Amino acid sequence: MSAERHEYDVIVLGTGGSGLRAAIAAAEAGARTAVVCKCLLGKAHTVMAEGGVAASLGNVDPADGWETHFQDTMFGGKYLNNWRMAELHAREAPDRVQELERWGAVFDRTPERKMSQRAFGGHTYRRLVHIGDRTGLELIRTLQDKAVHSGIDVFMETIVTRLVKDGDRVTGMFGYHYATGAQVAFACRSLVLATGGGGRIWRVTSNSQDCTADGHALAYEAGADMVDMEFVQFHPTGMVWPPGVAGLLVTEAVRGEGGILRNSEGERFMERYDPKRMELSTRDVVARSIYTEVKEGRGSPHGGVFLDVSHLDPAYVKMRLPSMYDQFYELAGVDITKGPMEIGPTCHYFMGGIRVDAETGQTIVPGLFATGECSGGMNGANRLGGNSLSDLLVFGRRAGTSAAQAASDAPAPRLPEAELALAAAELGGFLTGDGLTGPAEDPYRLHRELQTVMGDGVGIFRDEAGLETAIGRLHELEARAANLRAPSARLDYNPGWRLCREVRNMITVSLQIARAALMRAESRGAHSRLDHPRYDDYWSEHNILICGDGGEMTLEARPVVTSDELTELVEARQEAERV
């Protein structure tokens, strides 16, 4: 095998917030570290994050503290969260955010010149540290600059298609340079997956092109197990028109700043669904409410509802929501200071993901760590806005540090030639058609069909029949995916080639989602079963784990990871919600 080779102590796959934070931590711990990503540095999905990063600094509402943040997160996640993760997250988020400022991040300020914090759905206090509506960009740029000066090597536009194992242990990964098609193998003592989510499985999504659930699939194939895959967050407010931008996110900050939701009859319909929190109810509730309004014929002309900030001072709107103003003005021809936006739910975030140890981000596979959106457990059945960026920082750092520590005890990584040959054959097969057993399948077409299947059967509302049909069709797609072939045989910058492996990943992960959704016979958080509209006592204490050892996908219900020290806090909140 003549592929280009690299060796590091720690390799991080992904340059979103979690990947960069992990790499910085690993480098600080003394590990020789590299990051690898499909995109260019600084352009990962995280740049799109708008609203803010949740941390109970208490700058605006001094009553806030980690306990309340923990309780809010648990309540938002409908108590399926890994308690310990939710605790660590709430405890450490303030430090992580302050550290960003030490590294040069600039956030909006209070009159006392401290970091300002804004209200967001499901957060008891004003908690989201932000800068305008481009907080993700600030986070990425800050981490990017920190990483660049931490002696981390960066491999951009390098697509990883397989993890390489030596026996039980992950020792590296295999991929290719997008620009040339040249194959490359990476060997490492610890590998951190930070590959983000998989929103591209749905047609209407706020996610960027990179979000094809690669990390989920790669880890699963390498023997890691998944948790909470049935929980996919549909953000209530995405653009619905024009068609080219359908799904593009309208930040929750619009509601945080006082935006009002109305149906085509002009009614403020949230009064009927959640009179207490209204527009700032949790995302699952708002998304379902909007969906219901549209379904019952009270939608806007393009199949959404109206979100209005035109009652606010135009100058204020332009100052606080500048990129929303631009987005609607440029793309939809709507001046949001004058008229309402048309919005509808859009696929946004994977609560579920690779199961990891709360403290270290270690998966059940030796040598393999995961962090960020591709890992699961922290958010339970539903994520609160702003809790992802803080999650990236808290667990990115933990994963990076632990990966570096583990690397110092790990054996020198070996990349078995047989594994590399297998990976190379798979990748090459997409180009040459070697090993196809039937007519070649076009990746663009298969992707669209997948999106249709998932949109039809595994959307916001689900039921048994729909899920079963979807699973049947997914198995068909899975079989056809064995014959994926890129429409062009070029090596350099060939988008169809790249999509082949991505489509395969997405099908694998779609099956996990659909099967877990079928198994969870209740409605909870982001998972709504029309045939099981209520909470179920058994399921309220169990997560669904998925593992694929031996090629067979098996699902298992396992009790939620609780913690005695936190019982009091959790029970206090449950009590409060009951009254």
Partner 1 sequence: MSTDGAQTPIADQTGEATTRTLHIWRGDLTDGGLVEFEVETAPGMVVLDAVLEVQRSQAPDLAVRWNCKAAKCGSCSAEVNGRPSLMCKTRLDHLPEGEPITVEPLHAFPVIRDLVTDVSWNYEVNKKIAPFTPKPDADWLIGQEDADRMSEFRKCIECFMCQDVCHILRNHRMHDRYFGPRFLIRLASLEMHPLDDLDRIDQISGEAGIALCNITKCCTEVCPEGIHITDNAIIPLKERVVDRRFDPLFRLLHRRPR
CA distance 449 to 472: 13
Give CA separation, 135 vs 52, 140, 305, 375, in Å. 5, 9, 26, 22
CA distance 547 to 321: 43
Binding mask 42-81 for ligand FAD (x = CB under 6 A): --xxx-xxxxxx----------------------------
Which span (33-41, 399-407, 449-457, 475-483) binds ligand FAD, by CB under 6 A? 33-41
Q: 295: which residues sit within 8 A by CB, 6+ positions away?
A: none
Of 45, 89, 235, 529, which is the active-site residue?
Answer: 235
Min dist CB 123 to partner 1, Å, is 22
Tracing tokens 């989920």 back to the chain, one arrives at 216
Contact residue for ligand FAD among 159, 343, 354, 356 (CB under 6 A)? 159
CA distance 368 to 499: 25
- Nearer Cβ to partner 1 (132/413): 132
Neighbouring C-beta atoms of residue 316, cutoff 10 Å = 13
CA distance 229 to 381: 9
Contact residue for partner 1 among 316, 493, 535, 538 (CB under 8 A)? 493
Contact residue for partner 1 among 163, 249, 423, 458 (CB under 8 A)? 249
Q: Is 380 in the site for ligand FAD (CB under 6 A)?
A: no
- Nearer Cβ to partner 1 (108/166): 108
Which residues, numbered 143-162, are part of the site for partner 1 (CB under 8 A)? 145-146, 148-149, 154, 156
Is 88 in contact with 358 (CB distance < 8 Å)?
Answer: yes
∠ CA 247-219-453, nearest 5°, is: 40
Is 51 in contact with 128 (CB distance < 8 Å)?
Answer: yes
Q: Which does 283 bind (CB under 5 to 8 A by kind): ligand FAD, partner 1, none?
A: none
Q: Is 259 in the site for ligand FAD (CB under 6 A)?
A: no
Told to judge if 45 belongs to the known catalytic residues of this protein, a careful annotator would answer: no
Min dist CB 379 to ligand FAD, Å, is 10
**Residues paired with 557 in a beta bridge:** 544
What is the DSSP annotation of 172-219?
Answer: EEEEEETTT--EEEEEEEEEEE-----GGGSSSBS--TT-S-HHHHHH
Q: Is 13 in the site for ligand FAD (CB under 6 A)?
A: yes
Which residues, numbered 117-136, are part of the site for partner 1 (CB under 8 A)? 131-132, 134
**Residues paired with 234 in a beta bridge:** 347
Which residues, numbered 307-366, are part of the site for ligand FAD (CB under 6 A)? 348-349
Q: Which does 349 bind (CB under 5 to 8 A by kind): partner 1, ligand FAD, none?
A: ligand FAD
**Residues paired with 188 in a beta bridge:** 8
Three-state DSSP at 35 gives: strand
Q: Is 272 in the site for partner 1 (CB under 8 A)?
A: no
Q: What DSSP state is assigned to residue 80?
A: -
Q: Is 188 in the site for ligand FAD (CB under 6 A)?
A: no
Told to judge if 235 belongs to the known catalytic residues of this protein, a careful annotator would answer: yes
Min dist CB 221 to ligand FAD, Å, is 12
Binding site for ligand FAD (CB under 6 A): 13-19, 36-39, 44-46, 48-53, 135-136, 159-160, 194-196, 206-207, 210-211, 214-215, 249, 348-349, 372-374, 385-389, 392
